[in-house]
Structure 1
């Protein structure tokens, strides 16, 4: 068996244990997996895999081929990150991972300008609040809010994200202090920060996971929020009725040590540092 795709098929069948699951792992449809397995069985004139009640089992030959596939994968794995990095450099592509709200309210126009000034470079942006795995080349550069980033990453600490307590400008006009309520990210546990607010006993009436939509809901008069100044300033109906006693976290620009000297990574980080520092007062503007 000389085709790496065949080895990947066996690995997917082992991990998923069903044809449909293997199809999902490989990013193809069920019919394609079935056809490829049938062709593999015909090539050896023996069954590599058998199906019983929808589950996959391997023959003795299948187990030998699977062992070879696992050995090949183990040999290749340590080199995949460097291979992916080399491919992206040759393609002049760089991947940036960034929180959605930072892109929307702080860097959208600026990153477009960066791409316009570097037309040879394809900028791929992944918006997420999770920290992309730099070890697996899920991103080349990340912007993240963190108190302490992973020790093995390298980068630059910028400044904290200042917070405040916000409500619609007319929210209290027809309400007493006993009838106000909060909008938070979750309701599994009552946030401890509520104790530091002017309304520590007010109920949580609405839970919205999305950060920006919480600001939108407060702007519509649906409740009070703890929000970020850099987002709230884009909602004219919001007023800050009290400052928050603490910041959310520091913003960082990070990369992996093996990537820091790559020309495109250095170019993007330099641009981000200059741009973000020029916006310091927008993000950290606590009174």
Structure 2
């Protein structure tokens, strides 16, 4: 019989794609992950990875075992939430993943109200550009800019977030309106960046960052024009450029695993998000 902990470590390796990434997610060193994988191979009498000089590569047997591990992780996740769904007390940890700008400006500043109602609740806020996997338990709840497609997730549209062109008052008073601030290559294909490129008319970006707040800070410093949502632009005293009707919008989605949605602590947080974040968006 294999050790369940060995399987958990192997599952983390399969999900992350490397020993170092798996070690980071588990809070251990990569040698421990390698040892656990070797132990699982010995227990199952299977070769799960091809040990190459610079990386571990999954074998066909490893991929199959990875699929089984994923199914077992999903089942254990469902069992845990089935057991806790009958508890009346709202307590324990909830991991919420969302884009950093939304997490900071729309969620974090209102959490005091949530804690006043549920003092035994504990939140972990994970700022992530990409949606964390709810199936692999990287998060319990996710706010994302695209609609989730996994069949095991329950998703609802929180609303639409409008983006416009903003700059500092000093920059708008200047004759130069040719400098633009935008995302780096990691977000080059995002709807916001594509729209900004159209507005820039082929002019190169003078500053690039994958962090929306850094873009806003640069705009506030007079660097140029940025594509921002109003809640961030207002924080930095930025002014809309030209016609206020000139804008683009993206959808904001709230997702939770179907097996977890009725767990008291998960339900309390999703209801809080619907009550506090949804009114700040355009329906």
Q: Deviations over 1:56-97 (max 9, x none)?
A: 99xxxxxxxx9xx87984773452322554687787222222
State how far apart, in whole Å, the 1-side matches of 2:30 and 2:150 are. 42
Match of 2:165 in 1: 165
Question: Does 1:98 pair with 2:98?
Answer: yes
Instruction: Give the alignment of 1:145-160 within 5 angstroms.
Output: 145-146=145-146, 148-150=147-149, 152=151, 153-160=153-160
8 Å Cα contact 1:157/1:252 also seen in 2: yes
Moved more, 201-210 or 148-157: 148-157
Instruction: Give the alignment of 1:1-287 within 5 angstroms.
Output: 3-5=3-5, 27-29=27-29, 73=69, 76-83=72-79, 85=81, 92-146=92-146, 148-150=147-149, 152=151, 153-177=153-177, 180-186=178-184, 192-194=194-196, 197=199, 200-236=201-237, 238-242=238-242, 243=244, 245-278=246-279, 280=280, 283-284=281-282
State how far apart, in whole Å, the 2-side matches of 1:71 and 1:192 are. 37
Total equivalences in the alignment: 265
State how far apart, in whole Å, the 1-side matches of 2:21 and 2:102 are. 36
3-state SS of the aligned residue for 1:162? strand
State how far apart, in whole Å, the 1-side matches of 2:15 and 2:107 are. 40
- TM-score if structure 2 supplies the norm length? 0.70
State how far apart, in whole Å, the 2-side matches of 1:154 and 1:12 are. 24
| Greater relative contact order, per chain length (Cα 8 Å cut-off, separation 6+) | 2
State how far apart, in whole Å, the 1-side matches of 2:99 and 2:127 are. 5
How far did residue 231 of structure 1 move? 0.5
3-state SS of the aligned residue for 1:149? coil
3-state SS of the aligned residue for 1:161? strand
3-state SS of the aligned residue for 2:78? helix
- TM-score if structure 1 supplies the norm length? 0.69
Q: Deviations over 1:8-67 (max 9, x none)?
A: 788999999x99899778754467679999999xxxxxxx9xxx997999xxxxxxxx9x
Cα distance 1:225–1:92, how it changes in 2: closer, same or farther (>3 A)? same
Match of 2:43 in 1: none
State how far apart, in whole Å, the 1-side matches of 2:149 and 2:95 are. 19
Q: Highest CA radius of gyration, 1 or 2?
A: 1
State how far apart, in whole Å, the 2-side matches of 1:20 and 1:118 are. 37
8 Å Cα contact 2:182/2:226 also seen in 1: yes
8 Å Cα contact 2:161/2:252 also seen in 1: yes
3-state SS of the aligned residue for 1:251? strand
RMSD (CA atoms): 4.7
Q: Deviations over 1:191-239 (max 9, x none)?
A: 5424753x53543212111111111111111111111111100002x21
Moved more, 83-92 or 259-268: 83-92
